[in-house]
Structure 1
Amino acid sequence: MSGLPHSSHALVTGGSRGIGRRIAAAMVGAGATVTIIGRDRATMEAVVAAGEAHFIEVADVANQASVNAAVAAAAARKPIDILVANAGSAQSAPFAKSDAAFFRRMIDVNFMGVVYAIQAVLPGMKNRPYGRIVAVASTAGLKGYPYVSAYSAAKHAVVGLVRSLALELAGTSLTVNAVCPGFTDTDLVSASVENIMKKTGRSREQALAELARHNPQGRLVSPAEVADAVLWLCGEKASAITGQAIAVAGGEI
């Protein structure tokens, strides 16, 4: 049982595909009203049509004004109790070829997108009797990987933000945590597989194996496993869990 309060309102950024869509569906299954935020209206409308979310708001998480408008519209519909800051983008490049614009792009989406979402929901959430903030980070926020220095730096920043903000808000009803998936079976990882194939000439099976080898269980994590961790952190009985960065990675961390 998730233990979500009756009729809570969950906001999930990047909720149209992959981990975000699975989290949204899990929240719906647990009885929450769910609003998803993303850039592609048609894709999000398909999620609602499938019964995996209730409402949509179009926004680019790297644009603060866009996020503020989306959150305000969602909160006007129903006060927000849960934020899952899931939206992100992973691009790889050797450090020597990662210029300032590349770093800025990864920071803007993966870190500032979390900052903007939290800043937008926090005023309305702080005085409510229950609140949960969960950032979907990555094992790249807990360790390094080659060729993703910008992405890893952004995800490390997310984990630092979570740990600090949890302490600031410890005297309130809010908890702030991060879930850090390892390589997960999503379209984001599919893009990484394609990149490995293109750059190394390996087959799809070999490229998948290259990613799966990081997991001691020898497999990719499923989006449902990540969603289950998020759902647990959002439950009423997880009120003593805050400031944590929980790896969902088969023992990699």
Structure 2
Amino acid sequence: MNLAGKHALITGGGTGIGFAIAEALVAQGVHVTITGRRQEVLDEVATDGMTGMAMDVRDEADVTNKIAMAVAQNGPIQICIPNAGIAEGKAVHKTSMEFWRNMMATNLDGAFLTIRESLTSMRQTDWGRVITVASLAGLRGLKGAACYSASKHGMIGLTRSLSEDYLGTPYTFNAICPGYVDTPIVTRNITSIAQRAGISEEAALEIMVSSNRHHRLIAPEEVSAAVLYLCGPGSESMNGQTIEIAGGQV
């Protein structure tokens, strides 16, 4: 599969995993629309082959309008990567409805809206890939992060159901489930875990590092490599799968 000239949409594409995926796809000749909440951040990081577009994945009207604009500018979306998300732990008895709804609106509703609107143009083409960025927390649950885990379980369920809906078509739906990745989200969580647990930031980092089976943080480029495989030749039968990037058995 020659990806040159295709159009990809990546939510949360201005940093971390999303930006690593954007760079990898651009290197293959794909034009990538990266979205995030702040246009100035997107403008600062966007390189040749990328278009930054501010979009709030929690807002249905904004998602509908912005994806229509992206299609008008760069053609049908044939690679859709719902990546935008919040990763924050909180005990259930300390979880407010506001915290719960914001997590679900961003992680799960945002993925649903992004996929729904991207399919409008994708289904008019002869090829498409939807690759959701979930988490190991969507497969086994994460201690102290029930809300986050529930949102990622929902994302995986959405991905698997869509793969069933489109069996036998040229569109596939898969979920990437990484462990702890070396991104700004992990950096922020180090401070959060340290404060909640009353431990040093070094000890908080070690908790995350030791959670990965190979005892190191995962590089964002390891995640983007999986995306390239799912978009490449020979991946046609990879559908409805969870791709676990964890350094060992889960």
TM-score range, shorter chain: over 0.9
The match for 1:199 is 196
2:131 aligned counterpart, secondary structure? strand
The match for 1:35 is 33
Q: State the distance in 2 between where 1:217 and 1:4 align.
A: 34
* Pair 1:174 & 2:171 matched: yes
1:238 aligned counterpart, secondary structure? coil
Deviations 1:51-78 (Å, cap 9, x if unpaired)? 4x52121110111111111110111111
Is contact 1:90-1:151 (8 Å) kept? Answer: yes
The match for 2:95 is 98
1:102 positional shift: 1.7
Counterpart of 1:122 (choices 114, 119, 124) is 119
Q: State the distance in 2 between where 1:87 and 1:240 align.
A: 26
Name the count of aligned residue pairs.
Answer: 249
Q: State the distance in 2 between where 1:36 and 1:236 align.
A: 24
TM-score, L = length of structure 2: 0.96
Q: What one-letter code is carried by the residue in structure 1 that aligns with 2:62?
A: S
Distance 1:4 1:142, change over 3 A: farther
Q: State the distance in 1 between where 2:51 and 2:129 align.
A: 19
2:10 aligned counterpart, secondary structure? strand
TM-score, L = length of structure 1: 0.95
Q: Name structure 1 gaps, 5 residues minimum.
A: none
Is contact 1:141-1:159 (8 Å) kept? Answer: yes
1:95 positional shift: 0.7
RMSD of aligned residue pairs (Cα, Å): 1.3
1:5 positional shift: 2.7
Deviations 1:197-228 (Å, cap 9, x if unpaired)? 22234333221111111112001111110111
Distance 1:236 1:9, change over 3 A: farther
Deviations 1:105-147 (Å, cap 9, x if unpaired)? 1111000100000110112111311100000000110111111
Counterpart of 2:53 (choices 57, 65, 73) is 57
1:157 aligned counterpart, secondary structure? helix
Distance 1:60 1:130, change over 3 A: same
- Which structure 1 residue ranges, 4+ long, deviate > 2 Å from structure 2? 3-6, 199-205
Query: Which runs of structure 2 are paired with 1:198-237 in the superposition (5 Å)?
Result: 198-237=195-234
* Pair 1:23 & 2:10 matched: no
Q: State the distance in 2 between where 1:84 and 1:199 align.
A: 32
Is contact 2:4-2:28 (8 Å) kept? Answer: no
Q: What one-letter code is carried by the residue in structure 2 that aligns with 1:31?
A: G
Counterpart of 1:137 (choices 134, 139, 145) is 134
Q: What one-letter code is carried by the residue in structure 2 that aligns with 1:44?
A: L
Quick one: percent identity of the two aligned structures?
A: 39
Q: Name structure 2 gaps, 5 residues minimum.
A: none
1:252 positional shift: 4.8
Distance 1:192 1:74, change over 3 A: same
